[in-house]
Amino acid sequence: MCYDEGRIQSYIDGEIAGIEMEEIQEHLEICEDCKVRYSNLLENDMMVRTSMEGFIASDRERFNAEMAWRKLKLERMNSEEIQEGKWKINMLYKKLATAAAAVGLAGFLAFSPASSMASDFLTIFRVEKVQVISITPEDMLQMDKIMKEGTGGVDIRNFGKVKVSGRQEMVPVTLEQARSAVDFDLKIPALDGYGKPDLQKTAGSSVSLAIDVNGVNAALKAFGGKERLPEELNGKEFTLVVPTGITAEYSGPAGKIMLAQARGPSVRTTSGVDVKAIRQALLGMPALPENFRRQLAAVEDWQHTALIPLPAGQHTEVPVNGTGGIFIKEGNGQSPVNVLVWQKNGVIYALAGQNMQQDKALEIAGKIK
Amino acid sequence: MLRESKVREESWEFSSEESVIRKEDTNMVHRILNYMPERDRTCLIMKFSGFSYDEIARATGVRKASVGTVIARAQARFRDRMLEMKGSEF
């Protein structure tokens, strides 16, 4: 049996092990055709390797220099910034955002490496799905306390330098502007009983953390963790990038419905950062509420999962357009805003509506394909 | 002992010369990568950064069984393009 170029390339790249590797080895000794294919591929591989390795090494230097030069418009992240008077759903988002910030540590645990050429040479962790982890008020309090006061005199701010760029502010846009603001196919369905929606754009923003290894290690120690971050991580930047999002707000007699869509947020870091080690170190902190740690550690495919911390019992997992979605029910207020969140082809959709029940949400979601 | 130090000297000289060549190469690589479809580019960058096929597959959406083929073809095109560019320089 002969091997195609893909198989032989896998063999060259050390991706084939065990018996199959031996089989290929033996075959290459006896088959002229495969031998020629192999030596061509190997020659290409060596040539490209020399160029690419030099490029990657030099690009990394260039990237670091660029980062030093880059002037980011710095602004303090302010949770109060979300304009008042905006519809109640903002409150829900705000609550989610606050919860997410409170478990900022969890944020780092929720992403994993993929890579892209998007801007120079970076490792990118992109969110591909959403998952709820339940959090009790006690957990929340404990995390909040750690964030605010630190433990044993350790301040969370010692973790490194934080830079915030971009403003999370919504501006009205036309359909055309909205379409050109995002790099995916915007879905604006027509809803029965509702007029044309008002569109708003939330420009992308980013938060960077240049990690201070000593600060983090002091914290890990104070929190009783045994793992330490390696010295090489010092000064490495992690950037949480929240891409531009478009929100369509529909008004009708039954209240309002809002559909938000955006690419999943991603975390970028320079290459060579051992994210698994960081995850291990953070998960090893005894200060993490046990209930919380268990859930974090249990997240399968943590690499591509964004975690939404929610009080227990507020959500149901439902299939949406062939992918996993989460329906979140807000308490028992007068007109609760319920939200359906799902991810499709790298775009995260959030559909929210006053008194919107699950079947109604799924019906609307069905129009977004 | 003597021989060893001589070798080291030579290789040092070689590497300083090589670093000049490298700068040109780097620009060329950048140009070649720019012309590539994003999928191929990501595969190559990830491969030479030490990522496994499994990770490459997850990042690019290419089936793991096809990563080898994508890389083999991308490398062949990379090489052709490189020879073409080098040829036009001289």
Domain boundaries, chain B: 2-89
pLDDT reported for residue A252: 81
Positive or negative, the Cα torsion across A134, A152, A281, A95? positive
Residue that has been written with the tokens 């050109």 in this structure? A180
List, in order, residues 6 or more apart from A259 with CB less than 8 Å away.
A187, A188, A189, A197, A247, A248, A250, A349, A350, A351, A352, A364, A368
* Residues of B in Cβ contact (< 8 Å) with A20: none
pLDDT reported for residue A121: 27
Residue A322 carries which DSSP code?
T
- Chain A positions touching chain B (beta carbons under 8 Å): 4-10, 13, 15, 41, 44-45, 47-49, 51-56, 58-59, 113-117, 121, 124, 271-272, 303-304
* Residues of A in Cβ contact (< 8 Å) with B42: 115-117
Burial of A86 (0-12, 13-18, 19+ CB in 10 A): middle
Residues (pLDDT < 50) of chain A are 62-126, 150-154
* Residues of A in Cβ contact (< 8 Å) with B46: 115
Query: CA A29 to CA A26: how far, in whole Å?
Result: 5
- Chain B positions touching chain A (beta carbons under 8 Å): 22-23, 25-26, 28-30, 33, 38, 41-42, 44-49, 51-53, 55, 58-60, 65-73, 75-76, 78-79, 82
Closest CA in chain A for residue B66: A6
* Contact criterion met (CB < 8 Å) for A5 and B45: no
Q: Is the pLDDT of residue B47 over 70?
A: yes
pLDDT reported for residue A105: 30
What are the pLDDT digits (tens) for A149-201?
544 444 555 666 766 666 556 788 999 999 998 888 999 999 888 889 989 88
Query: CA A55 to CA A249: how far, in whole Å?
Result: 47
Nearest-neighbour CA in chain B from A226: distance (Å): 28
- Name beta bridge partners: A122: A116, A270
Are the CB atoms for A256 and A269 separated by under 8 Å? no
Query: CA B28 to CA A55: how far, in whole Å?
Result: 9
For this complex, say whether ipTM is above 0.90: no
pLDDT reported for residue A237: 75
Topology given in CATH for the domain delimited by B2-89: Arc Repressor Mutant, subunit A (1.10.10)
pLDDT reported for residue A90: 37
pLDDT reported for residue A27: 93
